[in-house]
Amino acid sequence: MKYNPKSVEKKWQERWRSSGLYKADLKSDEKPHYYNLVMFPYPSGDKLHIGHWYNYAPVDSWGRYMRMQGYNVFQPMGFDSFGLPAENYAIKTGIHPAETTKVNIDKMKDQISAIGGMYDLDLDMKTSSPDYYKWTQWIFLKLYKKGLAYKKAAPVNWCDSCCTVLANEQVDNGRCERCKSEVRRKNLTQWFFKITDYAERLLDYSNLDWPEKTIAMQKHWIGKSEGIEIDFPLADADAHVTCYTTRPDTIHSVTFLVIAPEHPLVDKLLKGSEYEKEVRRVQAEISKQNDIERMAEEGNAKIGAFLGKYAINPATGEKIPIYIANFVLMYGTGAVMADAHDQRDFEFAKKYDIPLKYVISPDGSERNPYEDEIAYTEDGILFNAGEFSGMKNREALSKIADWLEEKSIGKRKTHYKLRDWLISRQRYWGAPIPIIYCQSCGEIPVPESDLPVVHPHVENYMPKGKSPLADSAEFVNVNCPQCQQPAKREVDTMDTFVCSSWYFLRYLDAHNPDKAWSKELADKWMPVNMYVGGPEHACMHLLYARFIHKVMNELGLVESKEPFARLVHQGMITKDGAKMSKSKGNVVSPDEFVDKYGSDVFRMYLMFMGPFTQGGDWNDKGITGVARFVDRFYKIIKNPIENPSAVEDMDKLIHETVKRTKDAIEKMHFNIVIAALMELVNTAMKKGLSEEQKNIAIRILAPFAPHLAEELWEITGNKGSVFDASWPDYDPKMLESKTATYAVQVNGKLRATLELDKSIDKKSAIEKAKELENVKKFLKKGDLVKEIFVPNKIIAFVVKG
């Protein structure tokens, strides 16, 4: 009889649910804890697609494996339900985001249930529910009180016709992606979290089992650099321009300064200047470019303007002109010293006819080896550099820095590229920021006892230049918590990354009305042992979560210093080489495959496609292979081929399979696990399995085909769930064999193979190999000059002539 996945899977899912098999007892210390976490999904209208399955199914297999290794596995699942798509959908259709969110979550819950995973969906956790965002607001207040939340004006990309802020990626060539009207820079007062205070602490990755690549990306993002701030006095005023550089060795070649068009000095320097008109024109032009365009490599010329003023190069005493240019941004000091040894400065100087001066060449000779065509940016020997001439520039670097510090011209400084985290959004579908503005008391945080600040219902979500929450008079008008006089609420909402930066703590104590999380449980369960999600979150979510966690740690609210001990990124599933998206119309739904082949087959096929971290292009061609494997496995256990004489040989294979699959699982190479199980089945088809061997085989399979394994566990007469049994161990003695297969090579080419006893010595092994006909043939072709013997592997001869 053939295996019927449909009825069997339904049966076991119901049993698991009714027995509460996978409910982790968070308070129990009976078994070691294992927090197995997958990044929670956004409840989109696209529902669950193959990419989600590719992510969730192997993580579930991992969790089941850990459970069978004796761990108390906690594997929750919730929803990141605030965000822009629901709001945009509401603008289009008028359906309230809360409603679409609920519909999408219900649908996705059904789909996740169909996987038949251990995911605990009963926690019913979503970031848009008041009992969750109450605590997001509470975290805001914690940061506020620690001085880590502040307001400042920041430039944003603004579209006048859409009346809204645009992300850099929504700006296309200076125009709004949606309505094509011109985008302008506009200053808005916004809330920030001071993540920059934690730059140094965030650079500590000790004890984190994370992909090297992700750590490298975060380090790059934080961007620590050791340099020096140098003051350039103005030629005709008692003021100076401070520039930051990591290359003080080039100070003698500095022939001009470039400051950001937004630099506060620009207005002062321009006062009554004949250059004002041109500078304003260039400023206006640059203001149309977003940061990405301003820094874009291709298709964007360097533009700038002379400010009509000069500074003094403190090293040479020379008068040098000051410019503004698009490529200098108002970060750090907003000013750079420019010279001939930087390609960007070099090009700018050529365009605006600014004289250049060289101070480095490969051999110290006074010329640019590239003949003035491109900048010489490599290292070399200094010349025209005063007392430093003749030194290697890298060696002179710190000496010049010392010299600048001694003369009080410069001061060494560590810079970080990391900017503070802009958390306010002028959007409806997000957690309200718990701040009240009072005419007499000023900016007042909402008292913790008044949380949550409930998200109001509004009629119109259309952006009008300010948050739609401003429409609700009931929401906006409150009494000041301090003086009880009429006051107004902050109407901006929080970035959804704030909501997702602590959800793993809430899972541990979901819906507790009195606390964000229980410290006791957090100390038992944190950090998350295994965290799996897409690599696109390397710099945002994963950095923000670490930041918030470190703040909570310093406040004594959690013991762990890091939220995620081990991190793995799953690969991306594409369709015909393209990312799946509704707009491209290439979203593949898992439902029809699950319906046709069952969850076990579908999940194993996804795992069989290739290494988990690699991803791949979706193609349903091979799924029949996995379906055949499942049928065979079922058949072997249920209708055994009786052949007792051969069954003994199977012992070795079974133990080999345990070892192979175990090694592959720990590396998350699930494709190898499935392949090894297929090999076992193929051999077992011929030779049969004993009852004991069947018992082991079922347990190896269980994490990957949980329904089938449970069914077979029951059929073979076992009591209870296979997931309460332990994953099998192998006996190393069983893997040993008396003989080894040697490859016999002549001049590096394989000429024969030879089965030899493992205890054989070099001399007799070589004798045996020499007797082989095909080896003799090639040995005759010249003089034997070398014999190589690698135990249990190779016998090689080198012949010359």
Partner RNA sequence: GCCGAAGUGGCGGAACUGGUAGACGCGCGGGACUCAAAAUCCCGUUCUCCUCGGAGAGUGAGGGUUCGAUUCCCUCCUUCGGCACCA
Task: Looking at residues 399 to 418 of the shown chain, list those that interact with RNA (rule: CB under 7 A).
Answer: 415, 417
Q: How far is the CB of 48 from RNA (least distance, A)?
A: 22
Residue (of 454, 594, 777, 631) closest to 3 by Cα position: 631
Q: How far is the CB of 235 from RNA (least distance, A)?
A: 21
As a whole number of angstroms, the distance between CA 430 and CA 87 comes to: 9
Pick from 556, 644, 748, 801: which binds RNA (CB under 7 A)?
Answer: 748
Residue type at position 542? L
What residues between 320 and 379 interact with RNA by CB under 7 A? 326-329, 331-334, 336-337, 342-344
Dmax over CA atoms of the chain, in Å, equals 107
What residues between 530 and 559 interact with RNA by CB under 7 A? 535-536, 538-539
Give backbone dihedrals phi and psi of 408, rounded to 5 degrees, phi first: 55, 30
Residue 302 interacting with RNA (CB under 7 A) = yes
* Choices 43-51, 212-220, 421-429, 695-703 (CB under 7 A): range interacting with RNA: 212-220
Residue 76 interacting with RNA (CB under 7 A) = no
Residue 798 interacting with RNA (CB under 7 A) = yes
Residue 632 interacting with RNA (CB under 7 A) = yes
As a whole number of angstroms, the distance between CA 256 and CA 310 comes to: 8
Q: Which is nearer to RNA, 479 or 774 (CB)?
A: 774
* Choices 101-109, 364-372, 401-409, 604-612 (CB under 7 A): range interacting with RNA: 604-612
Q: Count Cβ atoms below 10 Å from residue 793 Cβ, excluding itself.
A: 11
Pick from 174, 611, 640, 791: which binds RNA (CB under 7 A)?
Answer: 611
Q: Which is nearer to RNA, 389 or 747 (CB)?
A: 747
Residue 223 interacting with RNA (CB under 7 A) = yes
Residue 422 interacting with RNA (CB under 7 A) = no
Pick from 626, 705, 756, 760: which binds RNA (CB under 7 A)?
Answer: 626
Residue 786 interacting with RNA (CB under 7 A) = yes
**H or E element at residue 237:** none
The string of DSSP codes covering 419-482 is: --EE-EES-SSSPBP-EEEETTTEEEEPPGGG---PPPP-S-----SS-GGGG-HHHHEEE-TT
Q: Which is nearer to RNA, 468 or 533 (CB)?
A: 533
Q: Are 323 and 256 in contact (CB under 8 A)?
A: yes
Residue 17 interacting with RNA (CB under 7 A) = no
As a whole number of angstroms, the distance between CA 732 and CA 743 comes to: 24
Residue 203 interacting with RNA (CB under 7 A) = no
Give backbone dihedrals phi and psi of 404, rounded to 5 degrees, phi first: -65, -40
* Choices 263-271, 497-505, 608-616, 761-769 (CB under 7 A): range interacting with RNA: 608-616
Helix ranges restricted to H, 69-116: 84-93, 97-115
Q: How far is the CB of 683 from RNA (least distance, A)?
A: 9
Residue 774 interacting with RNA (CB under 7 A) = yes
HSE value, Cβ hemisphere, 13 Å, CA-based, for 177: 10
Q: How far is the CB of 642 from RNA (least distance, A)?
A: 16
Q: Which is nearer to RNA, 520 or 595 (CB)?
A: 595
As a whole number of angstroms, the distance between CA 632 and CA 630 comes to: 5
Q: Which is nearer to RNA, 482 or 574 (CB)?
A: 574
Q: Report the SS3 class of residue 224.
A: coil
Q: Are 657 and 701 in contact (CB under 8 A)?
A: no
As a whole number of angstroms, the distance between CA 702 and CA 665 comes to: 13
Q: Which is nearer to RNA, 262 or 714 (CB)?
A: 262
Residue 622 interacting with RNA (CB under 7 A) = yes
Residues binding RNA: number (CB under 7 A)? 89
What residues between 707 and 746 interact with RNA by CB under 7 A? 741, 743, 745
Residue (of 762, 752, 754, 755) closest to 791 by Cα position: 762
Q: How far is the CB of 391 from RNA (least distance, A)?
A: 19
As a whole number of angstroms, the distance between CA 516 and CA 510 comes to: 8
Q: How is the chain split among helix, strand and coil, in percent rounded to 5?
A: 40, 20, 40
Pick from 105, 654, 672, 769: which binds RNA (CB under 7 A)?
Answer: 672
Q: Are 525 and 504 in contact (CB under 8 A)?
A: no
Q: How far is the CB of 652 from RNA (least distance, A)?
A: 16
Q: How far is the CB of 583 from RNA (least distance, A)?
A: 16
Q: Phi-psi category of 536—alpha, beta or left, where left has phi over 0 and alpha has psi -120 to 50?
A: alpha
Kindly report each contact of residues 199-206 with a partner whose C-beta sits within 8 Å and lies 24 or more positions away, as own/partner: 199/224, 199/416, 199/418, 200/224, 201/550, 202/418, 202/543, 202/546, 202/547, 202/550
Residue 421 interacting with RNA (CB under 7 A) = no
Residue 749 interacting with RNA (CB under 7 A) = yes
Q: Which is nearer to RNA, 143 or 397 (CB)?
A: 397
* Choices 216-224, 310-318, 497-505, 725-733 (CB under 7 A): range interacting with RNA: 216-224
Q: How far is the CB of 692 from RNA (least distance, A)?
A: 23
Read off the DSSP letter of residue 102: H
Q: Which is nearer to RNA, 244 or 429 (CB)?
A: 244
Q: How far is the CB of 253 from RNA (least distance, A)?
A: 12
Q: Report the SS3 class of residue 639.
A: coil
Q: How far is the CB of 64 from RNA (least distance, A)?
A: 21
* Choices 153-161, 178-186, 188-196, 681-689 (CB under 7 A): range interacting with RNA: 681-689
Q: How far is the CB of 220 from RNA (least distance, A)?
A: 5
Q: How far is the CB of 716 from RNA (least distance, A)?
A: 20
Structure tokens at 117: 């995973």
Pick from 686, 758, 762, 763: which binds RNA (CB under 7 A)?
Answer: 686
Residue 290 interacting with RNA (CB under 7 A) = no
Residue 510 interacting with RNA (CB under 7 A) = no
Q: Report the SS3 class of residue 338.
A: strand
Q: Count Cβ atoms below 10 Å from residue 757 Cβ, excluding itself.
A: 10
Q: Report the SS3 class of residue 548.
A: helix
Residue 69 interacting with RNA (CB under 7 A) = no
Pick from 608, 713, 727, 730: which binds RNA (CB under 7 A)?
Answer: 608
Q: How far is the CB of 717 from RNA (least distance, A)?
A: 25
From residue 234 to residue 263, what is the string marking binding to RNA with x (rule CB under 7 A)?
A: ---------xxxxx------------x---
Classify strands 794-800 and 304-312 as parallel, antiparallel or unpaired. Answer: unpaired
Residue 693 interacting with RNA (CB under 7 A) = no
Q: How far is the CB of 604 from RNA (least distance, A)?
A: 10
Residue 217 interacting with RNA (CB under 7 A) = yes
As a whole number of angstroms, the distance between CA 701 and CA 58 comes to: 13
Residue (of 172, 438, 195) closest to 288 by Cα position: 172
Pick from 27, 92, 271, 621: which binds RNA (CB under 7 A)?
Answer: 621
What residues between 577 and 596 interact with RNA by CB under 7 A? 579
